[in-house]
Amino acid sequence: MTYQKSNKNKLQSPRTKLLYFIYCCHDSSLKDESGIKSKLRKALGYKSDGHFYHDLNYLLGSGLIANTDGYFKVTKKGKEEFDRYSANYNSSIVMVSTGIILIVYSFLQTVGFSMEGGIAVVGIILIIFGAGLSMVIRRNKPQVSLKAKRLLKELKRN
């Protein structure tokens, strides 16, 4: 995504939110049916049809999405825009889980098994680091409105 100045602006731009919305749909595709563009425009907070269509055409023209077989589908290039956030988020979950396991193991060792308390310290460090990383990643991913989240749930039900 080279169309914004900073990562924060880039991730929170309406264009990125539109791409992210389609990315979150089942199979990263959205049926191009009657009225869907109007619903999307309203749900994502676009002020005008022109701005929405400008962003949609940009995503199509840049190869981030494709309109094939009556569906807007996020391409491999489009999916790569969010892969790094998914990988980092998953890594932070693994770190927190590992930290919890180490603390539980350390506690069990303290209660009845013979083991030093050093594992608990490592566990606490992993939890703090993983939780901090998770918060940073969650804060920096595109934020879609509550209206857009409801529309996404409605589309997943159909």
Q: Does pLDDT of 127 surpass 50?
A: yes
Query: Cβ(147)–Cβ(16) under 8 Å?
Result: no
Q: Which token pair is 52?
A: 């929405």
Residue 144 DSSP SS3: coil
Q: Which residues, in sequence order, are CB contacts of 110 under 8 Å at separation 6+?
A: 117
Residue 74 forms beta bridges with which residues?
65
Q: What is the pTM of this model?
A: 0.60
- pLDDT tens for 76-119 read 998 888 776 666 777 777 888 888 877 877 777 777 765 566 66
Which amino acid belongs to residue 67?
Answer: N
Q: Which token pair is 120?
A: 């608990």
- pLDDT tens for 26-69 read 888 899 888 899 998 988 889 898 999 999 999 999 999 999 89
- Name the residue ranges covered by the structural domains of the chain: 7-79+145-157, 82-140
State whether CATH 1.10.3470 applies to domain 7-79+145-157.
Answer: no
